[in-house]
Structure 1
Amino acid sequence: MQAIRDAILSGDRTQETYANIEIPASYRGATVHKDEVGMFEGLATRDKDPRKSLHIDEVPVPELAPGEALVAVMASAINYNTVWTSIFEPVSTFGFLERYGRTSEFAKRHDLPYHVVGSDLAGVILRTGPGVTKWKPGTEVVAHCLSVELEDAEGHDDTMMDPQQRIWGFETNFGGLAELAIVKANQLMPKPSHLTWEEAASPGLVNSTAYRQLISKHGAAMKLGDRVLVWGASGGLGSYATQMALAGGATPICVVSSPEKAEICRAMGAELIIDRNAEGYRFWNDEGTEQNPREWQRFGKRIRELTGGYDVDIVFEHPGRETFGASVYVARKGGTIVTCASTSGYMHEYDNRYLWMNLKRIVSSHFANYREAWEANELINRGLIHPTLSKTYTLEDVGQAALDVHRNAHQGKVGVLTLSPEPGLGVTDPAKRAGFEKAINRFCNQ
């Protein structure tokens, strides 16, 4: 492993160098254990601690299948799916691995008593499997997290519709929070040359998810001039949605939960901001059993105060149960509520009169297909959208990193160094970076 690290740090990217490096028999990765699935039974979700369930284990390097690549991972990042995996909610991910393992001989590799997690990476290709022609050892890459088989017709219009669509590192094994990772070749994308390893690793999942949800024809298809309500506008998903709205000529109305998060939104260029804690919105009673439509009305009134009397064209939804009733209410007549997650609960409730009688649409969105992920990565590469990395941990501290995200004690994205020995490495185009330095560092140490 040290030889791999040394080669990457040397700057040598020749194919021969990496093709001749010996692949170790094992590597370190962040794992959850199948025999610990019940460890948090009886605890409230908020009290489940990823530091207790995430382990750093030495695990065997799997055999490389056709169409796959083995990547030396320099950095990764935490997503909410890692939190779900680590607290075994809403279900244990070992069920995903078991079902996947039954589909083919190569898929059996994934059904193990441990799960190497993580759905982001930036690193260097070490090996490619049979049939891979586009990617070569020594190439710097990032990876998106869509794993597909594409043996069914349904996946060939939009790969997200593949019946065998899975999220790598969540519904598959050998994820990115590790020194090595296995991905399919059609997950690979070029690493932006002006970014560090940890910066390049951080956008993958959330940037692509926000792109499909907000920009793509499969999502809200945002257009110039739209007013977009963004929940959690300084968070992992919301920070990219905010940037995309601004870059695309739309007007974001940013919902945050603290003055510090409001300042981050202003630094991105947003002007219309609602601090929902400061303004005391309580959409549910204390028992969480009944919603308060008067609070929806008060929230809608506040939005119109900010927009000069207009309701929003698009609601960028991901909190789920806590906010969904309000989201349906505040969208304009004919507007769109686009949802990609339910971090506060999956059982959404809303008053259907405000939906059907006002011809609003609820659109579901889940991650992104390869084309959408590639286009989202290209926005990063061109400096139209920037990473929102706020803090970086070592692999040994991955449990604390996941806890930060679990408790919403972070801004933007939380990174994790894997093979990279320190932050700040990996920039190969400093001149390009110089033009974006301030924007890249907006979230740092927040």
Structure 2
Amino acid sequence: MKEILDAILASDSKPADFANLALPESYRAVTVHKDEADMFDGMPTREKDPRKSLHLDEVPLPELGPGEALVAVMASSVNYNSVWTSIFEPVSTFGFLERYGRTSELARRHDLPYHIIGSDLAGVVLRTGPGVNAWQPGDEVVAHCLSVELENADGHNDTMLDPEQRIWGFETNFGGLAEIALVKSNQLMPKPAHLSWEEAAAPGLVNSTAYRQLVSRNGAGMKQGDNVLIWGASGGLGSYATQMALAGGANPICVVSSPQKADICRSMGAEAIIDRNAEGYRFWKDENTQDPREWKRFGKRIRELTGGEDVDIVFEHPGRETFGASVYVTRKGGTITTCASTSGYMHSYDNRYLWMSLKRIIGSHFANYREAWEANRLIAKGKIHPTLSKTYSLQETGQAAHDVHRNAHQGKVGVLCLAPREGMGVRDAEMRAKHIDAINRFRNV
């Protein structure tokens, strides 16, 4: 690994230098273990501790197949799917790996007694498999997390509809929280030159997810002037949705849970902000009963902030706790897009407000390659900025996942893998200087 890192850090390394590097037989990676999948059985979700289930192991280098690439990972980040994997909810990810392993001889590599997690990376291509022409050793890249086979017709209009679509590092093995990762070559995109390794690794999953959910025709198809209600507007997903709404001429109504998070939204340029804790919204009377009076109070507050207008789009991801309110406050003919359920998967709402007002609920899951590429292009052009707030070492990944699980973070948290320190990998210092305040916005909290 030292020779690989030396080549990356050298200013004069050529593609041939990387192609001639000897690959290690093993590397360090963050894993969960199959024989520990029941370690949290019977415990409340909040008490399940990723620090106990995530391990830093030395693992064998996987075989490189056709259409694939091995990437030296300089930095990665923690997403909520890393938390789900670490606490074995809603199911153990080893079921995903077993099913994938049965699909082909090559896929059998993924069915192991350990799962290398992580769905983001920024790094350098080391090797490419047969049939890869667009990338070569030495290329500096980021990776999106869509792993897709594309052997079924259903995937060729929208790759997210492919029946063999999976999320890399969650439903596949050999993820990005490691020194080396195995990806399909069509996951790779150019690393934004003005960002450090850890900054470039932070947006991938959440930025692409927000783009599809909010901007793409496969999601809400946001347009100028739309009022967009964004739950968790300073968080990993919401911070990108807020930026996209502002950059696209829409009006974000940012829902947050503290004055500090409200200040983050203001620093991004948002003006309409609701601190749900300060204003005391309680959408559930008890475990089984929602409170429509609170929906109405919430809708009234939104109209106070929009000049009397209801929201055109709701950017949903909390799920059970907020979904009834989201359906209620959406304008007639409006759209609720949902990509997650961090507060619970079983949603309930009053369907009269959906069907009689011709509203739409759209399920949105990650992004196809084109959407991910467009989202990354916005980062590269300085239209959207990373929301990195804190960076951990690879051996501290358990603590990073614990902090995300407890919502004790802002924006995204990064993980240094091979990068020896923060701030490395910047290739365009002039562009960086133009956007440095926005790049550091979440770090300054």
Q: Aligned residue for 1:247?
A: 247
Deviation at 1:11, TM superposition (A): 2.8
Counterparts of 2:26 and 2:281, CA distance in 1: 51
Structure 1 runs, 4 residues or longer, greater than 2 Å off? none
Q: Deviations over 1:331-352 (max 9, x none)?
A: 0011000000001100000000
Q: Which amino acid aligns with 1:312?
A: V
Identical counterparts, % of pairs: 78
Q: Aligned residue for 2:9?
A: 9
Counterparts of 1:290 and 1:384, CA distance in 2: 42
Q: Aligned residue for 1:120?
A: 120
Q: Deviations over 1:202-222 (max 9, x none)?
A: 000000000000000000000
1:260 counterpart = 2:260: yes
Q: Aligned residue for 1:408?
A: 407
Q: CA 1:308 to 1:109, structure 2 compared with 1: closer, same or farther past 3 Å? A: same
3-state DSSP of counterpart to 1:435: helix
* Structure 2 counterparts to residues 280-295 of structure 1, below 5 A: 280-286=280-286, 288-295=287-294
Q: Aligned residue for 2:428?
A: 429
3-state DSSP of counterpart to 1:313: strand
Counterparts of 1:14 and 1:131, CA distance in 2: 22
Q: Deviations over 1:171-209 (max 9, x none)?
A: 000000000000000000000000000000000000000
Kindly indicate whether the alpha-carbon contact (under 8 Å) linking 1:31 and 1:56 is maintained by their aligned counterparts in 2.
yes
Q: Which amino acid aligns with 1:433?
A: R
Q: Aligned residue for 1:170?
A: 170
3-state DSSP of counterpart to 2:64: coil
Q: Which amino acid aligns with 2:288?
A: T
Q: Aligned residue for 2:382?
A: 383
Q: Aligned residue for 1:364?
A: 363
Q: Aligned residue for 1:65?
A: 65
Q: Aligned residue for 1:394?
A: 393
Deviation at 1:445, TM superposition (A): 5.1
Counterparts of 1:237 and 1:78, CA distance in 2: 12
1:321 counterpart = 2:320: yes
* Structure 2 counterparts to residues 170-209 of structure 1, below 5 A: 170-209=170-209
Counterparts of 1:13 and 1:289, CA distance in 2: 62
Q: Which amino acid aligns with 1:366?
A: H
3-state DSSP of counterpart to 1:42: coil
Kindly indicate whether the alpha-carbon contact (under 8 Å) linking 1:391 and 1:445 is maintained by their aligned counterparts in 2.
no
Counterparts of 1:294 and 1:267, CA distance in 2: 32
3-state DSSP of counterpart to 2:284: coil
Q: Aligned residue for 2:439?
A: 440
Q: Report the TM-score, using the length of structure 2 for normalisation.
A: 0.99
Q: Aligned residue for 2:215?
A: 215
Q: Which amino acid aligns with 2:48?
A: K
3-state DSSP of counterpart to 1:436: helix
Kindly indicate whether the alpha-carbon contact (under 8 Å) linking 1:128 and 1:135 is maintained by their aligned counterparts in 2.
yes
Q: Deviations over 1:277-306 (max 9, x none)?
A: 1111011124x2110110101100100011
Kindly indicate whether the alpha-carbon contact (under 8 Å) linking 1:76 and 1:418 is maintained by their aligned counterparts in 2.
yes
Counterparts of 1:151 and 1:337, CA distance in 2: 32
1:309 counterpart = 2:308: yes
3-state DSSP of counterpart to 2:264: helix
Kindly indicate whether the alpha-carbon contact (under 8 Å) linking 1:313 and 1:336 is maintained by their aligned counterparts in 2.
yes
Counterparts of 2:34 and 2:289, CA distance in 1: 37
Deviation at 1:9, TM superposition (A): 1.2
Q: Aligned residue for 1:43?
A: 43
Q: CA 1:264 to 1:100, structure 2 compared with 1: closer, same or farther past 3 Å? A: same
Kindly indicate whether the alpha-carbon contact (under 8 Å) linking 1:147 and 1:166 is maintained by their aligned counterparts in 2.
yes
Deviation at 1:6, TM superposition (A): 1.0
Q: For structure 2, list consecutive stretches of 5 or more residues without a partner in the other structure.
A: none
Q: Deviations over 1:126-151 (max 9, x none)?
A: 00000000100000000000000000
Counterparts of 1:279 and 1:322, CA distance in 2: 16
Q: Aligned residue for 1:350?
A: 349
Kindly indicate whether the alpha-carbon contact (under 8 Å) linking 1:223 and 1:250 is maintained by their aligned counterparts in 2.
yes
Deviation at 1:381, TM superposition (A): 0.3
3-state DSSP of counterpart to 1:126: strand
Kindly indicate whether the alpha-carbon contact (under 8 Å) linking 1:73 and 1:178 is maintained by their aligned counterparts in 2.
yes
3-state DSSP of counterpart to 2:241: helix
3-state DSSP of counterpart to 1:218: coil
Deviation at 1:14, TM superposition (A): 1.3
Q: Deviations over 1:225-264 (max 9, x none)?
A: 0000000000000000000000000000000000000000
Counterparts of 1:428 and 1:283, CA distance in 2: 48
Deviation at 1:12, TM superposition (A): 3.5
Q: Deviations over 1:62-97 (max 9, x none)?
A: 000100000000000000000000000000000000
Kindly indicate whether the alpha-carbon contact (under 8 Å) linking 1:13 and 1:139 is maintained by their aligned counterparts in 2.
no
Q: Which amino acid aligns with 1:197?
A: W
3-state DSSP of counterpart to 2:29: strand
Counterparts of 1:358 and 1:234, CA distance in 2: 30
- Two-structure CA RMSD over aligned residues (Å): 0.6
Deviation at 1:424, TM superposition (A): 0.6
Counterparts of 1:273 and 1:10, CA distance in 2: 46
Q: Which amino acid aligns with 2:421?
A: E
Counterparts of 1:203 and 1:12, CA distance in 2: 28
Q: Deviations over 1:9-67 (max 9, x none)?
A: 11344111101111000000000000000000111000000000000000000000100
1:129 counterpart = 2:115: no
Q: Aligned residue for 1:296?
A: 295
Q: Which amino acid aligns with 2:350?
A: D
